[in-house]
Amino acid sequence: MTRVLSVASECAPLVKTGGLADVVGALPIAMAAFGDELRTLIPGYPGVLEKVSQGEVVAEFTDLFGGPARVEAVQAAGLELLILVAPHLFERAGGLYNDAMGQDWPDNPERFAALSFAAAQIAADGLGDWHPDVVHGHDWQAGLVPEYLAALGCAVPFILTVHNVAFHGNAPGDRIAALRLDPGRFHADHYEFWGQISALKAGLMGAAQITTVSQTYAEELMTPHFGMGMDGVLRHRRRDLHGIVNGIDIDVWNPATDAEITPYTTLKGKAANKKALRAEFGLGPAKGPLCVLVSRLTDQKGIDLLLHALPALLDRAGQVAVLGSGDPALEVALLERAADDPNLAVKIGYDEALSHRMMAGGDCILVPSRFEPCGLTQLYGLRYGTLPLVALTGGLADTVINASPAALAAKVATGIQFSPITAEALANAFTRLCDLYAEHKVWTAMVRNAMKAPVGWDTSAARYHALYEATAQK
């Protein structure tokens, strides 16, 4: 058994902006099957404090980057949680990372330095008779943990998981004292990054081991195109870099028991859900595939490519139902296109229950991302027999078996991949999709393959267990 202090800025089902929260919430439950004990430290945002009862105070700080704070131990959603209650840092209106205008909170460096500082203190002092063997941090928000561990003289090893390398958590170099960092470590071997303080760089350099969320993404990260400026650091740490694909909660995402849908176990059983989804989106009958897209509406997610490639699908009697929000210009473009085409329907916003109904009712889930560290959407699609059409990148490359002639002949295909990641290649993929959909036996075989694909945590949890054990013993 390994005792692990997990440190993250969000954790489903309590607080979520993306897939990071799903992983942080699912990992403790998955690891319990291997005897590992995870306690998860997260900020006390208003939405979190509303959902949990007041817990036992297990740590206190008279001045944590500008005000008093405490850590409360609570149990919620089957998780052992440690809530960092710091009203001056986290109890405010707006988003987790941005204000109501969408701008980064100016004190984000202090807010998440506080999270890292509290984690290091817990690692050094323990919580009663509970002492972590490993600290497992997620993304830049936990990146300063090894700096504070070093300052405390604490030898508990640190593992960093990179969910998205695009966000570095940078701060000006003149905030070293404000962030309680050792100025003697402001150099390339620690947290200095082009004259700035970088929380992500600190985590990458200070971690005993680094993981990311798919093997392909691990390889991509070491290239200038995908490394977002950190490719040199990651090449330097390549021996300690591991790609471990994410899993999903197969109890929550289970078409046989999902309370949001008409339950089913076969392709035939999807028909009622497809009919209901069309009605919900105002779509009529059509001969082509009903595609669904549940996504942030950004260029990173390939939404601009989708807009250009849509005719290749719609002209073949295909349909698209979209749920998401993001770039205002892309939202408007989708809504305007939907107003002109009865086979495209768009709902702006996010609705967890509706996303379940879309997975159940769709024939195909679209994930045309320019980069995707792992992606969970395609895994939900596989689970529900909603075949993924994905860009050949990151975790999308690792989890979807392309319907190539060889894969179709071997009867193992589970979806469609396209490359290069351009509008033209996506349009060609739509043509392939419509051709496959028209071949009922081939399509049915692919759906069956998809629904049998291993999308849970078993394999990945076994790899994390081995990594925790090996790291704790070093």
Residue list, annotated binding site for ADP-alpha-D-glucose: 16
Distances (CA, A) of 337 to 311, 347, 358, 405, 431: 11, 13, 20, 34, 20
* CA neighbor of 34 nearest in space, from 472, 468, 455, 465: 465
In a 3-state reduction of DSSP, which class is residue 163? Answer: coil
In which order are the strands placed within the sheet that holds 134-138?
Answer: 56-61, 69-76, 79-85, 37-43, 3-7, 134-138, 158-162, 209-212, 241-243
Residue 291 pairs in a beta bridge with 320, 364
Q: Which residues are annotated as a binding site?
A: 16
In which order are the strands placed within the sheet that holds 319-326?
Answer: 344-348, 319-326, 290-297, 364-367, 387-391, 416-418
In which order are the strands placed within the sheet that holds 170-172?
Answer: 170-172, 196-198, 192-193
Check: CB of residue 216 under 8 Å from CB of residue 397.
yes
Q: Hey, how many other C-beta atoms are within 10 angstroms of the C-beta on 447?
A: 20
Distance, in Å, from the CA atom of 161 to the CA atom of 212, rounded to the nearest integer, reads 5
| Phi, psi dihedrals of residue 64, rounded to the nearest 5° | -105, 90
Query: What tokens does 376 get?
Result: 């969970």
Query: What tokens does 132 get?
Result: 């972590």
Check: CB of residue 14 under 8 Å from CB of residue 52.
yes
Distance, in Å, from the CA atom of 419 to the CA atom of 416, rounded to the nearest integer, reads 10
Check: CB of residue 4 under 8 Å from CB of residue 227.
no
In a 3-state reduction of DSSP, which class is residue 199? Answer: helix
Helices 145-152 and 199-206 cross at an angle (nearest 10°) of: 60
Q: Hey, how many other C-beta atoms are within 10 angstroms of the C-beta on 91?
A: 14
Distance, in Å, from the CA atom of 36 to the CA atom of 20, rounded to the nearest integer, reads 20
* CA neighbor of 12 nearest in space, from 37, 54, 42, 34: 42
